[in-house]
Amino acid sequence: MKAVQFARHGDRDVIEYDEFPDPEPGRDEALVDVKAGALNHLDVWTRRGLPGVDLEMPHVPGSDGAGVVREVGAGVTRFEEGDHVAVSAGVSCGVCEFCRDGEESMCVRYSIIGEHQRGVHSELAAVPEDNLVPVPDHVDWETAGSASLVFQTAWRMLLSRGDLSPGEKVLVLGASGGVGHAAVQIADFAGAEVYATASSEEKLRYAEECGADHVVDYEDEDFADEIREHTGRRGVDMVVDHVGAATWHDSLRSLAKGGRVVTCGATTGGTPETDINRIFWNQLSVIGSTMATPGEVDDVLELVWDGTFEPRVRDVLPMSEAARAHEMLENREGFGKVVVRPDSEL
């Protein structure tokens, strides 16, 4: 088979689309004929090299993907040949205290397909049964292959960890990205008043289409000042921040007394200066979140499959152009997800 791969960490020039050994499904795995997969910023970080993560090289990236089951291992009971499936990338141990309590995304040995182990941006992928979700036949491959990671992440951030309630005010930073545009839709679905930031007029209009009630161009305006003005100096109840160092100070400034900031990542750096005085004086909460439990995945993806939520796709490229797909993410080009498909599928 052919696969997107890199044999060393580095810039986009390390990415190749070349021959790779066909995977053999284990007892509890299904062999999936991959039809489409989306990129996430995680793919960029993994390519560059993450501290403490040692990969077997060459490494196949990709945490999002969907396709048709070609073969199943002897222990697989939920799927059979011909089923349409999507990948849910979080891998938990199943035995630690968090897994026993139904909080698999907090597993002490949690890992992610595409980050800590071989990903699915390839013609074929052997995926554990527990990391597959059924996809209705009417769902197109671009949707099936781009929804899982960002919608489950945003769902857990806002509803499970952030406990968002109808009528609350929520600010979503980076609304043009994968997690951002999912968070806008979920916040709107939950009945919140949604504020969103983006970097161009086009992206702001897309954010409004996804459900944002108010938008701010962070390239032209100080978003914290704008939020304070729009809310009568009160601030918002929640900030969804996956940007990190570049926005952290203003995220705290945007919060009302007793507000909370929920974070799942830090694309601009993970060690920002922070205002501890503001945190304790305004009784703010800082909440971390990552991925989701199997039940949460099922809940949010049902709403994707029925059309309630829509992964916006900015472009579909052949896997041989994976370097260009990485470039689009790094340069923040467009709105929504970048999808890659095996060249043989185009």
Q: Tell me: the pLDDT tens digits for 56-77?
A: 999 999 999 999 999 999 999 9
Cα 315 to Cα 5, 117, 312, distances in angstroms: 20, 26, 9
Do residues 175 and 181 make contact, with C-beta atoms less than 8 angstroms apart? yes
Number of domains in the chain: 2
pLDDT of residue 51: 87
Residues 163 and 92 in one domain: no
Q: Is residue 142 part of a domain?
A: yes
Q: How would you classify residue 114: left for phi > 0, otherwise alpha for psi between -120 and 50, otherwise beta?
A: left
Note whether 229 and 325 are same-domain residues.
no
Question: Residue 297 domain-assigned?
Answer: no
Tell me which residue range forms the domain holding 142. 2-146+311-345
Q: Are residues 130 and 69 in the same domain?
A: yes
Q: Are residues 316 and 222 located together in one domain of the fold? A: no
CA distances from 317 to 37, 43, 255, 313, 325 (A): 10, 16, 39, 11, 7
CA-nearest of 16, 146, 124 to 70 is 124
Are 87 and 178 found together in one domain?
A: no
**18 in the same domain as 125:** yes
Question: What span, in angstroms and rounded, lies between the C-alpha atoms of 182 and 242?
Answer: 12
Can you give the length of the chain in residues? 346
The pLDDT, as a whole number, for residue 267 is: 86
Does 321 map to a domain? yes
For residue 164, what pLDDT is reported? 98
Residue 113 CA to residue 118 CA, distance in Å, equals 6
Q: Give the pLDDT of residue 52.
A: 85
Residue 142 tokens read as: 């671009």
pLDDT at 346: 83
Residue 298 lies in a domain: no
DSSP 113: B
- Which whole-number Å values give the CA distances from 259 to 78, 170, 233, 247, in the listed order? 42, 10, 14, 16
Based on the fold, state whether residues 161 and 276 are members of the same structural domain: yes
Q: 28 in a domain, yes or no?
A: yes
pLDDT digits (tens, 9 = 90+) for 106-141: 999 999 999 999 999 999 999 999 999 999 999 999
15: three-class secondary structure by DSSP: coil
Residues of the chain with pLDDT under 50: none
Given a contact cutoff of 8 angstroms between Cβ atoms, the answer to whether 204 and 217 are in contact is yes
What global pTM score does this model have?
0.96
* CA nearest to 222, candidates 205, 197, 243, 201: 197
Considering the domain architecture, whether residues 9 and 128 belong to the same structural domain is answered as yes
Domain for residue 296, yes or no?
Answer: no
Same domain, 163 and 120: no
**Among candidates 341, 342, 326, 305, which has minimal Cα distance to 39?**
326
Map tokens 């349409």 to a residue: 84
Q: Where does the chain have alpha helices with state H? A: 41-48, 97-100, 141-144, 148-155, 178-189, 201-210, 223-230, 248-253, 276-281, 294-305, 322-330
Give the CATH number, domain containing residue 28. 3.90.180.10
Question: Is residue 92 located within the same domain as residue 199?
Answer: no
